[in-house]
Amino acid sequence: MATILVADDNRANREALAALLETAGHRVLSAADGSEALERAREHRPELVISDVLMPEMDGYELARRLQLDPATAATAVLFYTAYFGTREAKDLALAHGVARVLVKPSDNDAILAAVEEVLSSRAGPRVVSSGLDREHLRVMVDQLLDKTGALEAQQRRVQRLNRTLAMLSAVNALIVRGSEQQALLEEACRIAVEKGGFRLAAVGLLEPVSGAMAPAAAAGEGSAERDLARLKPGARAVIWNDAESGSFVALPLIVGGATAGVLLLYARVRDFFDEEEMRLLQELAGDVSFALHHLEQKARMDYLAYHDSLTDLPNRSLFIDRIGQALSAARREKRFAAAVFLDVERFRMVNETFGRKAGDELLRQVGARLREAAREEDTVARIGADHFAIAVAGFDHPGETTHWLIERLGAAFARPFLVDGVELVVMLKAGIAVFPTDGESTEALCAHAESALKHAKDGAQRYLFYAPEMNARVAEALAMENRLRRAIDDGLLSLHYQPKIDVQSGALAGLEALIRWNDPELGAVPPAKFVSLMEETGMILAAGNWALRRAAADMRRWQAAGLEVPRISVNISAIQLRQKDFVDSVLQAIAGLGRRPLLDLEITESVLVDDIEESTRKLQTLRRAGIEVSVDDFGTGYCSLGYLARLPVDTLKIDRSFVVRMGEAGTPRNIVAMIVSLAHTLGLKVIAEGVEHDAQVRLLRSLGCDQIQGFYVSQPVPADKVESLLGPGAQDSLQRRMAAA
């Protein structure tokens, strides 16, 4: 057993050594630096001092030298235990200082104990310290210190770098925990890699399943990874590149569900950046990002499943409630209407029981698809129960028209039978409709009222019921009208009346306008204002408009055959007609028998022309080449800009009656009429005033230079058989006299 003094500035080192020596049966003292060791050695006279070399205050060499110089401690053996003892010179220096042995840190326990035993047993008398060692000592010390500083700095850099990577890893993990949408997550992860990880550039590419290519998904930092992404082959292992100029980069695969889903690219500014330790952390990072991708994908699927009906792929009740809520907020903000329509497939249970569940499921799928077709793009069709569907009808301006339109579309969609398992099934729908805000201001109220309307519809004979009774009355009236009108077209109850247009200067008959009339046996003469828009809503206008064109052409031919001098005849055309692809053809067909100069004109409302100016222009040009003239009807009520007007292929402006009526008042209305007249003439167009009833209006229009007038002043619209009297020479004379007197 010996007394041994351990000198080391590192406490952990001291304690480890002390424990080892104590277990071996020695008495151990310790000191934190050279000067403390010297003091304790003088006091306790240990047989052996085990000393570190680099220590504050006094290093190991100095300690060894002083121990030897002092007779009291000259016999103490010294053993250096040090990590920085590379050079031969350092060893020589130690021996020259009387150091018995140099052990390199770390050594294993057996080696340490063996060295201690050896030194203790061979302890000789006091050693001699050679002189002239001081300078040599200094030089070796400086070398060693430089060595140590270099190693420490390298270590520090490594630690810093790993710390940066760790900081990045934890920031990305925090980001993942917060959870967000995939794109945001990837972009944020790249940003963190650049800001916290110190990478020059970070990018993510995602594998495109079809092409198998890596498509750029997110990036942050300097430069672009797109070229590298393009040439990357999706693999399962990380790949490192080192480049003499640009540094190094690593491609870390992102593995989702066992397959490579993408790649994370990290670019460092230096070569050989990606060592083993760094890679361990980065693999972890890639693993975490992969996990997040997987999680988000699953969440998206779960969300979809939570809000959709898996059978029909339509939104389910929860999503429907959400959507109708959104539709109501939008309608409230924009001061528009919205509606909830609840639908029930009639006798669905019977289908299920008769044809089996599979057939029932198939029918529901098809019902869902047809509802989707019937609704508008902006509406939400949902399946809210076994055989219950619902439609959230988003913002609209005319509740009557829109709901009527929807009912029509639903009717048409279910008119065709469904083909299920080779069997044709006719399916009836019952619907309950509640309109916002009149039938309810909140989602709950609106849905409850739509449901109660549906219940009434199911109990009664009607297929569609509104919650508000007056809506039912209005729709019922429209439906009844529609049926009558349909019959009227089939039974030939429509007719044309003609109203003359007169030349303001000469009083000569300049043209006739054909106006449609409906004489219902029960309702009597129904004004066009009441049924033309209904025909437009239901599409009946196509048949009726075509009929009007052919009727006018036939009348004209008849009058010509009777030897009458027939002026130009104009026919009104609806927006719906104009929008048809075959519009031009159907007009040309209608006038086919009228020869090369057909004398047939079209009147089209101003607002319709500007709707789709390119398309309208093309169609009208073709017709004008065939000799047809075009009038802009109700001019002044639409929003036709001067630019549009100049481009439109038209011949005549018809000043709307509302301006003519108020023309007597001085000021704006009169100025407007004056302006329209001069505008028309500037553009080389004719101008007609509609709804002229009084002498005064005739005089004013004449003075303003208006070309023609039309109105009760000249004549009411008259039936076809009365036109002959208008065309006769007697009628012309009396008209001209009246005009001259005006």
Q: Which does 666 bind (CB under 5 to 8 A by kind): ligand C2E, Mg ion, none?
A: none
Count the site residues for ligand C2E by CB under 6 A.
22
Q: Please select the residue that binds ligand C2E; options are 54, 172, 515, 655, rule is CB under 6 A.
A: 515
* Piece of the chain touching ligand C2E by CB under 6 A; list 73-81, 204-212, 282-290, 528-536: 528-536
- Give the nearer residue to Mg ion in terms of CB position, either 443 or 652: 652
How far is it, in rounded angstroms, from Cα 573 to Cα 623?
A: 13
- Give the nearer residue to ligand C2E in terms of CB position, either 35 or 637: 637
Comparing CA positions, the residue from 622, 533, 518, 635 lying closest to residue 574 is 533
Comparing CA positions, the residue from 467, 363, 371 lying closest to residue 423 is 363
Under a CB-based contact definition with an 8 Å cutoff, are residues 273 and 255 in contact? no
- Give the nearer residue to ligand C2E in terms of CB position, either 601 or 634: 634
CB of 457 to ligand C2E, least distance (A): 34
How far is it, in rounded angstroms, from Cα 709 to Cα 701?
A: 8
Three-state DSSP class for residue 438 = coil
Q: Dump the DSSP string for 353-378.
A: HHH-HHHHHHHHHHHHHHHHHHS-TT
**Alpha helices of 24-58 — where are they, by DSSP H?**
34-44
Helix (H) or strand (E) holding 340: strand 337-345
Q: Please select the residue that binds ligand C2E; options are 529, 561, 666, 741, rule is CB under 6 A.
A: 529
Residue nearest to Mg ion (CB): 603
Window 491-510: contact mask with ligand C2E (x via CB under 6 A): --------x-----------
CB of 572 to Mg ion, least distance (A): 5
* Piece of the chain touching ligand C2E by CB under 6 A; list 22-30, 413-421, 431-439, 571-579: 571-579
CB of 426 to ligand C2E, least distance (A): 35
- Give the nearer residue to ligand C2E in terms of CB position, either 601 or 603: 603
- Which distant-in-sequence residues (6+ apart) come within 8 Å of 505 by Cβ? 702
Place of tokens 């159907």: 586
Binding positions for ligand C2E, 586-605, rule CB under 6 A: 603
CB of 537 to ligand C2E, least distance (A): 13
Window 627-656: contact mask with ligand C2E (x via CB under 6 A): ------xx----------------------
**Alpha helices of 6-73 — where are they, by DSSP H?**
11-23, 34-44, 60-69
Sign of torsion over alpha carbons 533, 536, 540, 544:
positive
- Give the nearer residue to Mg ion in terms of CB position, either 514 or 566: 514
Comparing CA positions, the residue from 98, 116, 99 lying closest to residue 107 is 116
- Give the nearer residue to ligand C2E in terms of CB position, either 236 or 639: 639
Three-state DSSP class for residue 706 = coil
Q: Please select the residue that binds ligand C2E; options are 225, 516, 645, 677, rule is CB under 6 A.
A: 516
- Reported in sequence order, the residue ranges of 144-186 that DSSP labels E, i.e. its strands, are none
Helix (H) or strand (E) holding 607: helix 606-611
CB of 601 to ligand C2E, least distance (A): 12
Burial of 116 (0-12, 13-18, 19+ CB in 10 A): buried
How far is it, in rounded angstroms, from Cα 7 to Cα 52?
A: 6
- Give the nearer residue to Mg ion in terms of CB position, either 309 or 513: 513
- Give the nearer residue to ligand C2E in terms of CB position, either 387 or 633: 633
Binding positions for ligand C2E, 396-435, rule CB under 6 A: none
Helix (H) or strand (E) holding 250: strand 247-256
Neighbours of 167 (CB within 10 A): 15
In the Cβ-directed half-sphere of 16, how many Cα atoms lie within 13 Å? 13
Q: Which does 440 bind (CB under 5 to 8 A by kind): ligand C2E, Mg ion, none?
A: none
Strand partners, 382: 390
- Give the nearer residue to ligand C2E in terms of CB position, either 451 or 601: 601
Q: Please select the residue that binds ligand C2E; options are 197, 205, 253, 545, rule is CB under 6 A.
A: 545
Comparing CA positions, the residue from 34, 74, 40 lying closest to residue 57 is 34
In the Cβ-directed half-sphere of 501, how many Cα atoms lie within 13 Å? 24
Q: Which does 606 bind (CB under 5 to 8 A by kind): Mg ion, ligand C2E, none?
A: none
Using CB under 6 A as the binding rule, whether residue 527 contacts ligand C2E is answered as yes
Task: Cis check for the bond before 106: say yes or no (omega within 30 of 0).
Answer: yes
Place of tokens 């000592």: 137
315 secondary structure, DSSP code: B
CB of 494 to ligand C2E, least distance (A): 9
Using CB under 6 A as the binding rule, whether residue 691 contacts ligand C2E is answered as yes
- Give the nearer residue to ligand C2E in terms of CB position, either 379 or 690: 690
Three-state DSSP class for residue 568 = strand
Binding positions for ligand C2E, 713-732, rule CB under 6 A: 717
Q: Please give the residue ranges that form the binding site for Mg ion (CB under 5 A).
A: 572, 603, 633-634, 690
- Which distant-in-sequence residues (6+ apart) come within 8 Å of 368 by Cβ? 311, 312, 313, 314, 381, 383, 389
Cα 162 from chain centroid (whole Å): 40
CB of 608 to ligand C2E, least distance (A): 10
308 secondary structure, DSSP code: B
CB of 508 to ligand C2E, least distance (A): 19
Q: Which two tokens stand for residue 733?
A: 């004379």
- Give the nearer residue to Mg ion in terms of CB position, either 8 or 633: 633
CB of 407 to ligand C2E, least distance (A): 23
- Give the nearer residue to ligand C2E in terms of CB position, either 403 or 577: 577
Binding positions for ligand C2E, 257-316, rule CB under 6 A: none
Q: Which does 555 bind (CB under 5 to 8 A by kind): ligand C2E, Mg ion, none?
A: none
Using CB under 6 A as the binding rule, whether residue 693 contacts ligand C2E is answered as yes
CB of 219 to ligand C2E, least distance (A): 59
Q: Which does 247 bind (CB under 5 to 8 A by kind): Mg ion, ligand C2E, none?
A: none
CB of 630 to ligand C2E, least distance (A): 13
- Give the nearer residue to ligand C2E in terms of CB position, either 94 or 494: 494
CB of 631 to Mg ion, least distance (A): 7
- Alpha-carbon Rg for the chain, nearest whole angstrom, is 50
Binding site for ligand C2E (CB under 6 A): 499, 515-516, 527-529, 532, 545, 548, 572-574, 603, 633-634, 690-693, 711-712, 717
